[in-house]
Chains A and B, each alone.
Chain A
Amino acid sequence: MERGLKVKDVADIFQQGSIWARERVEGPSLAWTLWVTLATFSQICCRLVADTPIKMRHLSTKATFNSHGQDSSYFLGWEEYEKNPYDEVQNPKGIIQMGLAENQLSFDLLESWLEKNPEPAGFKRDGKSIFRELALFQDYHGLPAFKRALVEFMAEIRGNRVSFDPNHMVLTAGATSANETLMFCLAEPGEAFLLPTPYYPGFDRDLKWRTEAEIVPIHCTSSNDFQITETALEAAYHEAQQRNLRVKGVLVTNPSNPLGTTLSRSELNLLISFITTKGIHLISDEIYSGTVFSSPGFVSVMEVLKDRNCDKSEVWNRVHIVCSLSKDLGLPGFRVGAIYSNDDMVVAASTKMSSFGLVSSQTQYLLSALLSDKKFTKNYISENQKRLKKRQNMLVMGLERAGISCLKSNAGLFCWVNMRHLLRSDSFEAEMELWKKIVYDVRLNISPGSSCHCTEPGWFRVCFANMTEETLDLAIQRLKDFVVEHTANGHSKSNNSSKNSNRKLLPKWVLRLSSSDRDHKPDER
């Protein structure tokens, strides 16, 4: 791979040289000869070095760059899991997948609805086939009925304290695409967005790959439960300036992935004030809004804007919301995401861009029927929250019994777990070591905090909604046994020992991660 790049460079130099020479030098002259000599040497060098990757040279830098870094140790976890996945009956000793934020707790509700309402799946409305309409429907404005149902569902999740206009909504193939589209719309290549850490590892791909935008972290720490502070915001803004990056906005996940906490009203106020003074955008990724299961309840940024009477001001147009049905309704396979923006230009541009990721008309129709059933949605939202709460409680209590604490959370499909006391030293190397033990020995695939760009070692994201209760029980049991054995061996060190001064320095592989991915890794968020 490395060699391939060199060859590519040489070839590019060579080509540039050829263009340059032809532009300036007519026929053989001293400069021409000099150039030919040098180019020849480079060609020889090229031949000497290269045996393989000639073909790589002809792909775009994006394509070649993307395939780098697959050996990153983070992916070992996924690889191990795929080699040896847990199954209650067939492979009870396998690895349990706790790195996948998927909600399987309320499938039965969806199934029973589909059973009772066979018409939408069969392309029928009131007994008549509407297949013709759907087969040809490729309007990027989306099926009006579906958009209406979706905005009402969004409002319902937000306690009907805010309402949404379907004309300001753009449908996309999943929130992944929604985030990328917003990035395309708001940032030029080389411009930056500020993201509070820890953040969802996929953002490094989704926001940067094709748009060539940059991410600058806002460093949040456990000292205030990872809340966003003004100092942290200013520091990040300053850092971006120092790196010569123009800041175009702030992107937050609310509820936060991986923390599982909602943003408080004061944090939202702080963010709005910040983007007002700096004259930048705010993207609020609210795809977990339907998973808020206990108080304090969920407050959407739209609500705060309304309360501040911002709907007449300029800031109103600079706040954009991303939502999806992947977490709220547990349907990631349906690939439904949406952008909500008050800026007409953003809506117009992203509507056109959505032709690169439209939602199939069949899916839109099916979901419009599902979401229009108010009785169903009401029941689903409350029942789903109840089940999530129970599940989260089960995990938190279980971990507590094992002597492991979690960040107090009220949302999400995961907990942010503190295993700092199990680290050999206060470093990311130690976190990696512990994580490997958990994957290989304890056989749980969880996500290390460093993959989320967390600034403190020892934190892990543990998902709880993609398995049965029995499996979760088993996972907790395994972890408990591990902790007991670990403590008995005296590996752990006192938690409050000197804080590593350079703990902000992430290990190299984290940086590499920003461009890396693995093939078989499910595309979860």
Chain B
Amino acid sequence: MTRPRPRTHESESETRNPTGGGGATAMRLIVPLQGVVQGRGGLILGSLIPCALFYFFQLYLKRHRSPKPGSNPTSPSQSSSNLSDLQRSSSRSNLSSRGSIGPVQVSSRASSIAKPNDSPYYIGLDRVSGDPYDRLDNPNGIIQLGLSENRLCFDLIEKWLSENTKDSVMGRDGGDLSISGIAPYQPSDGLMEFKVAMADFMSQVMGRAVSFDPSQMVLTAGATPALEILCFCLADPGNAFLVPTPYYPGFDRDMRWRTGVDLIPVHCRSTDNFIISITALDQAFNQARKRGIKVRGILISNPSNPVGNLLPRETLYNLLDFAREKNIHIVSDEIFAGSMYGSEEFVSMAEILDMEDIDKNRIHIVYGLSKDLALPGFRVGVIYSFNESVLIAAKKLTRFSSISAPTQRLLISMVSDTRFIQEYIETNKKRIREMHDLFVEGLKQLGIKCAQSCAGLYCWADMSGLISSYSEKGELELWDKLLNIAKINVTPGSACHCIEPGWFRCCFTTLSQEDVVIVIERIRKVAETCKISS
């Protein structure tokens, strides 16, 4: 009765006592006491009375502790004050909004969200939309390298559309034009046919190394709500996720805004090519515990955004072990799984689970069509989970973010056209590779090296040689120069919570080959002034 499941409890006692010595004393107590309780008829009394005592004891403590959680909302930001502007600024606005009880009584959530975001990631995006580069109309505009968008393969989809749309939106199988398939209420978590098509598409994208079960799938209006819904399902306000840095700046918005959940950055280093180490994870986990923050999971992006590298199989196993040991979840964002240009093999979390007989309940995968099929406008995201309860809860939460039915119908026919998809994936990879090689080579000639990468729509460039001081300030100065003098918008590493200054994410799939030449030329000018001044 007591023996078969020691694992979870051991992990509890371990987290209680990092040294392990206390765990042993606890065990020494547990064993005789269990004997007393189980042996005789006093079982109920023996367990109930101390439990009740303990409960009231804790209740008493809780009462006395309560002022502390009250001040909690600010503490996470304090803890991460060594990080980027983003967290600091949002916490600042949080405080000020609470302080000023003005005539407009919107919630503090709204007032902090309504404020303009002062992360360079968003500032850059805004600047571009005000003055976008165009070869003919606005040759002096800002060139967008800050948005991971793929414009390389539109011709393929356009061709498919011109051949197929007639029947795809309205009628099934080219039957009669009928609106009754799209107008009425549909299941909020997506049409079953679309789930089946998506499961096959995901498997195809991942080279058929793994198969997906449509019944474990929940469809949402983009990966953004998919992440938020998972966050709502897995964590309570005040809980936290561990996130290896550098990470996608949008996570701060998607995961934290409305859920009240915190993200704890776990720093990765360029010397490890930004691959997460379990030691760093363990440290972050223990620190969070010490501060009284409950860690509910790890959020990884694989292929990584912004670095573009893949998590090796070995690391995935280690992550699984870590999650099991700490009894936490893993959310794996695999939205770039099909945008590969290197020769390395991509290993999905699902593939590991396929082979291993392990506790799958803690693994959740996020996917979408915004990157691999270059359709962000169509808003298709996927939650793929092995946890029945999470699936049930997530399905209900899709009420607030379901995909429009005509879009689903159109995509069902597009995505189930396996021949087209195969051709698309291959051509897409080839074109991303060409663009990557061209861009990275251009940077190399300027003496800028990129982190080793093999996936994504971007490269992770090391411009630390160009910054005036080796600090976040120096990095942001360079970013400012690139934006205002060179007129290119890149994402500085600090926006991605990178701990080493001087790294920039440059997306190259929005460019044409001619644009690359211009971009490199523009960077060269800034690079030269930087070198002269230093």
Contact = CB atoms under 8 A, between A and B. Distances in A.
- Of B8, B47, B57, B186, chain A has the most CB atoms within 10 Å of the CB of B47
A512 B224 CA distance: 31
A60 B235 contact: yes
B107 A184 contact: yes
A67 interface: yes
Interface string B246-281: 000000011001100000000000000000000000
Interface in B1-36: 1-2, 5, 8-9, 12, 15-16, 22, 25-26, 29-30, 33-34
Given A48-B37, A349-B111, A523-B399, 13 more contacts: A28-B25, A47-B2, A47-B9, A58-B234, A59-B233, A60-B296, A111-B178, A210-B258, A352-B114, A355-B224, A362-B410, A366-B406, A524-B185
B387 interface: yes
A156 interface: no
A13 B65 CA distance: 13
B470 interface: no
Interface of A: 10-11, 13-23, 28, 36-45, 47-48, 54-56, 58-64, 66-67, 100, 102, 104, 107, 110-111, 114-115, 118, 121-123, 129, 131-132, 134-138, 173-174, 176-177, 180, 184-189, 191, 205-206, 209-210, 248, 279-281, 314, 317, 330-336, 343-346, 348-350, 352-353, 355-363, 366, 466, 517, 519-520, 522-524
Nearest to B18: A22
Contacts of A210: 232, 258, 397, 400
Contacts of A135: 154, 157, 374-378
A42 B401 contact: no
Interface stretch (B204-212, B286-294, B343-351): B286-294
Nearest to B362: A58
B403 A63 contact: no
Contact of A44 (B15, B34, B222): B34
Interface extent on B, as a size class?
35 or more
A59 B406 contact: no
A123 B161 contact: yes
A36 B29 contact: yes
B236 interface: yes
B170 interface: yes
Contacts of B387: 55, 59
Nearest to A279: B105
A306 to B, nearest CB: 21
Nearest to A19: B292
A135 B57 CA distance: 59
Contacts of A349: 106, 109-111, 113-114
The 6 closest A-B CB pairs, nearest first, are: A361-B377, A333-B405, A41-B50, A349-B110, A357-B401, A63-B393
B368 to A, nearest CB: 11
Instruction: Give the dominant DSSP class at A's interface.
Output: helix
Contacts of A22: 16, 290
Nearest to A357: B401
A186 B362 CA distance: 34
A516 B219 CA distance: 21
B404 A184 contact: no
A332 B377 contact: no
A333 B104 contact: no
Contacts of B107: 184-188, 191, 248
A346 B225 contact: no
Contacts of A524: 185
A63 B389 contact: yes
A507 B239 CA distance: 35
13 contacts: A10-B51, A39-B26, A42-B51, A47-B9, A48-B37, A63-B393, A186-B105, A187-B107, A188-B107, A189-B237, A330-B183, A361-B379, A466-B184
Nearest to A62: B232
Given A18-B15, A360-B377, A55 B106 contact: no
B131 interface: no
Given A44-B47, A114-B179, A115-B177, A360 B184 contact: no
A19 B234 CA distance: 21
Given A43-B30, A173-B400, A60 B232 contact: yes
Interface in B128-182: 149, 151, 154, 157-158, 161-162, 165-166, 169-170, 177-180, 182
Interface string B55-92: 10110011001000000000000000000000000000
A519 B189 CA distance: 10
A107 B176 CA distance: 14
B34 A54 contact: no
B390 interface: yes
A114 B406 CA distance: 12
Contacts of A129: 158, 161-162
A58 B296 contact: yes
A481 B392 CA distance: 40
Contact of B400 (A17, A336, A357): A357
B487 interface: no
Interface in B342-395: 361-362, 370, 374-379, 387, 389-390, 392-393, 395
Contacts of A55: 361, 387, 389
Contact of B407 (A54, A189, A281, A363): A363
A54 B403 contact: no
Contacts of B389: 55-56, 59, 63-64, 67
Contacts of A361: 377-379
A336 B221 CA distance: 12
- Of B234, B397, B399, chain A has the most CB atoms within 10 Å of the CB of B399
Contact of B26 (A20, A40, A66, A187): A40
A18 B375 CA distance: 48
A356 B401 contact: yes
Contacts of A346: 106, 110, 114
B228 interface: yes
B113 A352 contact: yes
Contact of A121 (B57, B149, B169, B237): B169
A281 B105 CA distance: 8
A176 B328 contact: no
B396 interface: yes
Contact of B328 (A28, A58, A189, A205): A58
Contact of A100 (B46, B165, B185, B377): B185
Given A18-B15, A63-B393, A114 B104 contact: no
Contacts of A58: 234, 296, 327-329, 362
B399 A122 contact: no
Nearest to A139: B129
Contacts of A115: 177
B485 interface: no
Contacts of B111: 345, 349
A389 to B, nearest CB: 21
B447 interface: no
Nearest to B289: A19
Contacts of A62: 232-233, 236, 393
B8 to A, nearest CB: 6
Contacts of B253: 352, 355
B61 A131 contact: no
- Of B53, B61, B378, chain A has the most CB atoms within 10 Å of the CB of B378
Nearest to B187: A522
A13 B50 contact: no
A138 B184 contact: no
B236 A61 contact: yes
A54 B5 contact: yes
B402 interface: yes
Contacts of A59: 233-234, 387, 389-390, 393
B375 A107 contact: no
A56 B180 CA distance: 39
B104 A345 contact: yes
B103 interface: yes
A67 B392 contact: yes
Contacts of B296: 58, 60
Contacts of A123: 161, 165
B203 interface: no
